[in-house]
Structure 1
Amino acid sequence: MGTHNTISFEMARERFIQDRGTWSPSWEAVGSLDPTFLDAYRKLSTIPSRSGHLEPKVQELIFLAVDANATHLFAAGVEPHLKRALELGATREELTEVLELIATLGIHAMNIGVPILVEELRVAGLDDEASLDGHQQELKAEFTRTRGYWHEFWEDILRLAPDMFEAYVEFSSVPWRSGPLSPKVKELIYIAFDTAATHLYEPGLRLHIKNALGYGATAGEILEVMEIASTLGIHGPLTAAPALVELTNTDTPQQNAASDEEGQA
């Protein structure tokens, strides 16, 4: 990290704690290596809270979706965001629903893979392109009714793998049938992990932005989800900085001011 610091470690730490309300050994390590970098991250990470398009509780749900989804799994951030969400009034049921929503990410293997399979089957003359039968039409109607949309990429999945599609309809519909979060917030959760740099699933991102707008989301709210997702890059320094400090420790600041709570990025 850089050596041309323009702010002291003590000042950077004070500002960070004041604005973010958290501190940890990992933040201590990042700040001790380069307080200017820590202060710059503080400014970046507090943009969503300053703009305030989403209520603080929903912001924490977005942070949780970014940290806990299967393409990122930043374990050190999960518990702090769960705790903060609970402090802000989130219920166990709401947090459970976030976990259920992010669990749908795995189906993107089918969303990406099946269209490619169909293209190659057609090139090889092996795709009979059969129409949906009566049961498949019922599954399509059920998905549309429960999830509130239909997209063409589901068509071939339903046609070629109806058992998988039927099981996925049941699996993905659980939070839509019984979850307490509004449809708009559900769609913002999907946007969070689709737009995250560890996933970047463009078809789903486009679809869920459209759905969120249909449920009344504003451009500011959707941008705020993207701003929160944009902060996940700090998890690299948070993970590596403590080891760097330990391996090169000479005159870094004392770490006795650090709390036991892990980083809330």
Structure 2
Amino acid sequence: MSSDETKQRITALRGRWQREWDDILLLDPDYLESYARLSMVPHGSSALDPATKELVLLALSAAATHLHVPGIRLQLAGALHEGATPGEVMETIELTTGLGMHAMLTAVPLLREVLDEEGLRSGPAEPTELQTRLREEFVAGRGYWDEMWTDVLEFDPEFFAAFTEFSSHPWRTGTLEPKVREFIYIAFDSAATHMFASGLKMHLRRALGFGATTDELLEVIELASLIGFHGAEVAVPLLRHEMKKRSS
């Protein structure tokens, strides 16, 4: 089969062609077609509507642990093409920036453990009025509390309060369905570049509480599993560039 025929098959399969695939097509068309078939499992599913799919993919590409610029460009255009509003796209980006807090959620409990082991901490103090109020405000605004927040609140209530204000902004002002917001968190928490298991489990549970189905959740996770191919989309054009330099 010629390269043109393979390109037509993949375009028909996926519904579009990405210029990042040109060099992969030249070097290993069978590999590219196998990826196209893999990607069609979630892309061919109807559990998520097309706009939500694009927003999930945008969150995966724009996550601080990934920052896949070609994907960001593609999904920004794709989301708007599928009917997402600029506000919904902006809301997705805002939700994705919350990933940075996972440094605190991972490191501060370890700091507490080390302080306990070194005898530098005698245990949690009684919550202050400020800490109690901040916890109540978090629950009122976000609808839940998870124990992974407890250490952050104890050690630095000022930072906790500022982050609560920051991360709650899209929940106060946005228009996405609550379950779709949870899809955004699930996507980057399950991605190979992050794998934040404690947050993932919590957001899976919350998504179910907001009415998400098992098929929807599986589709989000399957979309997240595709980011490994971004390595080929970035590296193969560089390989082709080096090959051209050496042959000239």
Structure 2 residue corresponding to 1:247, chosen from 233, 242, 245: 242
CA distance in 2, matches of 1:111, 1:186: 20
| In structure 1, distance between residues paired with 2:138 and 2:37 | 42
Aligned match of 1:175: 170
Q: Which moved more, 1:63-72 or 1:124-133?
A: 124-133
Q: 2:90 and 2:99 mapped to 1: Cα distance?
A: 16
Match of 2:159 in 1: 164
Which of 13, 32, 36 is residue 19 of structure 1 equivalent to?
13
**Letter in structure 1 aligned against 2:235:** A
Amino acid at match of 1:80: L
The residue number in structure 2 matching 1:75 is 69
Output the amino acid matched with 2:181.
K
- For the residue of structure 2 that corresponds to 1:51, the secondary structure is coil
What is the percent sequence identity of the aligned residues?
45
Measured after TM superposition, the shift of residue 246 of structure 1 is 3.0
The residue type equivalent to 1:143 in the other structure is F
Structure 1 counterpart of 2:94: 100
Please say if residues 8 and 35 of structure 1, whose CA atoms lie closer than 8 Å, have aligned partners that are also in contact: no
Residues in 1 aligned to 2:27 and 2:170: alpha-carbon distance in whole angstroms:
43
Between 43-52 and 18-27, report the one with greater CA deviation.
Answer: 18-27
The yes-or-no answer on 1:44 pairing with 2:65 is no
- The amino acid across from 1:41 in the alignment is Y
- Separation of aligned partners in 2, 1:216 and 1:96: 23
Residues 110-142 of structure 1 show CA distances to partners (whole Å, capped at 9, x for unaligned) of: 100111111111122222410211111111011
Question: Which fold has the larger relative contact order, with Cα–Cα distance below 8 Å and residues 6 or more apart in sequence?
Answer: 1
CA distance in 2, matches of 1:145, 1:12: 54
User: Counterpart in 2 of 1:131?
Assistant: 126
Give how far 1:84 is off: 1.0
Q: Which amino acid aligns with 1:162?
A: P
Letter in 1 for 2:106: I
Distance 1:24 1:217, change over 3 A: closer
The match for 1:236 is 231
Partner of 1:152: 147
Give the root-mean-square deviation of aligned CA atoms: 1.4
Higher-helix-fraction structure? 2
Deviates more, 1:118-127 or 1:37-46: 118-127
Code of the aligned partner of 2:164: V
Q: Which runs of 4+ in 1 moved over 3 A?
A: none
Question: Cα offset for 1:249?
Answer: 4.8
- 1: CA distance, partners of 2:190 / 2:196: 7
Q: Which residue type is aligned with residue 108 of structure 1?
A: H
Equivalent pairs, count: 244
Give the whole-Å Cα distance in 2 for the aligned partners of 1:119 and 1:241.
44
The answer to whether 1:86 aligns with 2:80 is: yes
1:115 aligned onto 2:100: no
Structure 1 counterpart of 2:81, one-letter code: E
- Please give the per-residue CA displacement for 1:221-265, whole angstroms capped at 9, x wherever unaligned: 111001101111111111111122233359xxxxxxxxxxxxxxx
Q: Between 49-58 and 11-20, report the one with greater CA deviation.
A: 11-20
Q: Which structure 1 residue ranges, 5 or more long, are not aligned? A: 1-6, 251-265
Q: Could you say what secondary structure the match of 1:107 adopts? A: helix
